[in-house]
């Protein structure tokens, strides 16, 4: 059966509340992150992911306090990301109670950050998040919440991240984000088949079949989703029962 596939609710946090958008824009409120985190933990989520999407100095303080509050309420691993630029940021969040950190823009700008995190805290702490879009010349990585294109290609950057010690890749297809038409399974499969570290699928969940397809067709190790969980469209226990019935190894 292999390792159990993981279901990971993702909470984008802005000014202390959970928000959700489409294609990275048009944000709307989705509730209190601590309450949501606790509810997901109780419903059987395997992990949680919290992203500080406005990591200015003030936002950081609010976010760090929230991480501490979440840690007291849940008993599953959780990853935090947003505004992590140096080891001091990683230390602050791990100290607040996070299990892993997710780095994105800062790692593309200065790839040595991955080496620094993994040599100090271990590979299992470092998740490299990649926001990519399929442009006319192939998959390209984007920075600053999807606002700035880079010349880094998705596959070569993911490969370099693995070589530098990343423990997991969290790949968000910007074209699929919030659209609810399914994950970018072709690109996910290419990542999963060429790398030896786990691949987390992100962007595109709209129905239970999409989760099944990203595990079977996309070869993903975990599936991350936001609005279908936040707005009660797919309850986690129901999703897991469905996946198990479809022959996918999940923890019930």
Catalytic residue among 12, 46, 52, 177: 12
Angle between helices 236-245 and 33-43 (to 10 degrees): 30
State the DSSP code for 123: G
**Residue 239 and residue 242: Cα distance in Å, rounded?**
5
**Residue 5 and residue 251: Cα distance in Å, rounded?**
8
List C-alpha distances in Å: 184 to 126, 134, 246: 23, 10, 20
Q: Which of 43, 44, 55, 45 shows the shortest CA–CA distance to 15? A: 55
Residue 45 contacts residue 225 (beta carbons within 8 Å): no
- 207 backbone dihedrals φ, ψ, rounded to 5°: -150, 170
For Cα atoms 94, 96, 101, give the angle at the middle one, nearest 5 degrees: 35
State the DSSP code for 125: G
Catalytic residue among 46, 52, 89, 131: 131
Instruction: Tell me, yes or no, if 32 is annotated catalytic.
Output: no
Instruction: Tell me, yes or no, if 177 is annotated catalytic.
Output: no
The catalytic residues are 12, 131
């Amino acid at each position: 059966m292999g390792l159990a596939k993981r279901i990971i609710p993702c909470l984008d946090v802005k000014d202390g509340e959970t928000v959700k958008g489409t294609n990275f824009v048009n944000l709307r409120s989705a509730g209190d992150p601590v309450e949501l985190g606790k509810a997901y933990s109780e419903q059987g989520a395997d992990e949680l992911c919290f992203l500080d999407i406005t990591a200015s100095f003030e936002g950081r303080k609010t976010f760090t306090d929230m991480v501490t509050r979440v840690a007291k309420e849940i008993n599953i691993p959780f990853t935090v990301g947003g505004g992590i630029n140096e080891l001091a940021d990683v230390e602050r969040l791990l100290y607040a109670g996070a299990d892993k950190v997710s780095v994105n823009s800062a790692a593309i700008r200065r790839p040595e950050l991955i080496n620094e995190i993994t040599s100090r805290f271990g590979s299992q702490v470092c998740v490299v998040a990649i926001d990519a879009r399929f442009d006319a010349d192939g998959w390209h990585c984007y920075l600053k919440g999807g606002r700035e294109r880079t010349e880094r290609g998705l596959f070569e950057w993911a490969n370099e991240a693995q070589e530098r010690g990343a423990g997991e890749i969290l790949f968000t297809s910007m074209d699929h984000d919030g659209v609810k038409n399914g994950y970018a399974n072709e690109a996910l499969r290419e990542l999963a088949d060429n790398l030896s570290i786990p691949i987390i699928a992100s962007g595109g969940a709209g129905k239970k079949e999409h989760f099944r397809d990203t595990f079977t067709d996309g070869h993903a190790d975990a599936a991350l989703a936001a609005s279908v969980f936040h707005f009660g469209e797919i309850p986690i226990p129901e999703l897991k029962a469905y996946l198990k019935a479809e022959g996918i190894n999940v923890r019930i």
